[in-house]
Amino acid sequence: MKSTLYYKAKKVTVNALIHVLLISVAITCIFPLIWMISSSLKTQETIFSDTSLIPVKMHFENYVQAWKEGGFGRYFLNSIFYTVSVVIGIILVSSLAAYAFARFKFPGSNLLFFMFMAAMMIPIPGSFVPLYVLLTKLHLRNTAIGYILCMINVGLSTSIFLLKTFFDKMPRELEDAARIDGCSKLGIWWHVALPLAKPVLAVVVVFNALAVWNEYVLALIIFDSKGLMPLQVALMTFQGEFITRYPLLMAGLTITALPIIILYILMQKYIVKGVTQGALVE
């Protein structure tokens, strides 16, 4: 008969192995980011020889230089502007539609809803080709509004799906009370339905903000002027022009990555919810 000591030792060993696996993967996840920040604090002279993780002398002026001379200040504001505009647009447009699909019955409502859902299922790789043609014809290429409208469309289907699922399950009592008080349909949507939908709106906001901030290819084909470019395209352009200016490039990458990491840490709950709900519902 094996002693309890044997089982205890076995359990400790197994747990230790599990922790080794988890910790080493966790380090692999964070290390490239630490190296990115570390490289952003070195100078053009030391970056190719200095392999220390924490540089002896930290050159924070790289950030000032990237922000001003590298133009990342401008690109950063562009990215903020696109992200905020698209997210607000998606919230308004998709919640109006989702509310109507959940609460009102009108001719063609099922067909329209099905159309949005079908778009989620059908992959069109290279959809940027006809979009380029369309925006050129509408004279919306190389304009902020053209990019914003395209990106609203990208997030529309999933957001309508998430919001309609929520509205379907939402109890109707409050809306009925508001209606008796003489509130219009639009008033009920704004004053009753939207405030109640806050938890799912948070999921919609986080996922769309991530998608817009990180978007690359549409911005690449839509914008010619540097003044309109968001960060992702600007980074690639910068890398192409100044291939060896690694400290500045790394500062630009940090400026791009940091807001997303902060947003993620603050809203982690909603991201986990979004991923698991979205995946397990389908």
Partner 1 sequence: MKFKSTLENYLFVLPAVLIFSIFYIIPFLWVFQLGMYEWDGIMPTKTFVGLGNFKEIFFQDKIWWQSMFNAGYITFIALTFQNILAFLLALACDREIKLKNFYRLIFFIPPVLSEVVVGLVWQWILDGNYGLLNGWLVHLGFPQFAHNWLSDPQTALTTVAIVHSWKGFGWGFLIFLAGLQTIPRELYEAARVDGANAWQSFKKITIPLMIPVTVLVMILTILGTMQAFVLIIAMTGGGPAYHTEVPVLRILASMRGSSRFGYACAQGLSFGLILMVISFIQYKFSSRARKI
* Contact set for partner 1, span 15-74 (CB under 8 A): 15, 18-19, 21-22, 25-26, 28-30, 32-33, 35-36, 39, 47-48, 51
Which of 62, 85, 94, 208 is in the footprint of partner 1 by CB under 8 A? 94
Out of 41, 87, 91, 156, name the contact with partner 1 by CB under 8 A.
156
Among the residue ranges 66-74, 170-178, 195-203, 262-270, the one whose residues contact partner 1 (CB under 8 A)? 262-270
Report the nearest approach of partner 1 to the CB of residue 36 (Å): 5
Instruction: Work out the widest C-alpha separation in the chain, in whole angstroms.
Output: 82
Q: What is the DSSP letter of 132?
A: H
Size of the site for partner 1 (CB under 8 A): 85
Minimum separation from the CB atom of position 60 to partner 1 (A): 19
Rounded to a whole number of angstroms, the minimum distance from the CB of residue 145 to partner 1 is 12
Q: Which is nearer to partner 1, 48 or 60 (CB)?
A: 48
Q: Is there a contact between 170 and 104 (Cβ–Cβ < 8 Å)?
A: no
Q: Of 216, 224, 226, 227, which lies in the binding site for partner 1, with binding defined by CB under 8 A?
A: 216
Q: Which of 1, 5, 121, 180 binds partner 1 (CB under 8 A)?
A: 121
Q: Which of 88, 96, 170, 178 binds partner 1 (CB under 8 A)?
A: 96
Of 13-21, 59-67, 171-179, 194-202: span binding partner 1 (CB under 8 A)? 13-21
- Please give the Cα distance from 255 to 282 (Å, whole number): 36
> Which x/- pattern, by CB under 8 A, does the window 221-240 give for partner 1?
x----------x--xx--x-
Q: Which of residues 126-155 bind partner 1 (CB under 8 A)?
A: 126-134, 149-150, 152-153
Q: Of residues 46, 81, 174, 185, which one binds partner 1 by CB under 8 A?
A: 185
> 213 is written with which tokens?
């901030």
Output the smallest distance, CB 211 to partner 1, in A.
Answer: 10
Q: Which one of the spans 55-63, 69-77, 172-180, 247-255 is the region binding partner 1 (CB under 8 A)?
A: 247-255
Instruction: For residue 159, give every residue at least 6 positions away whose Cβ sits within 8 Å of its Cβ, in sequence order, or none.
Output: 90, 91, 94, 95, 98, 204, 208
Position 276 contacts partner 1 (CB under 8 A):
yes
The residues, any chain, with a CB within 8 Å of residue 124's CB and separated by 6 or more, are none
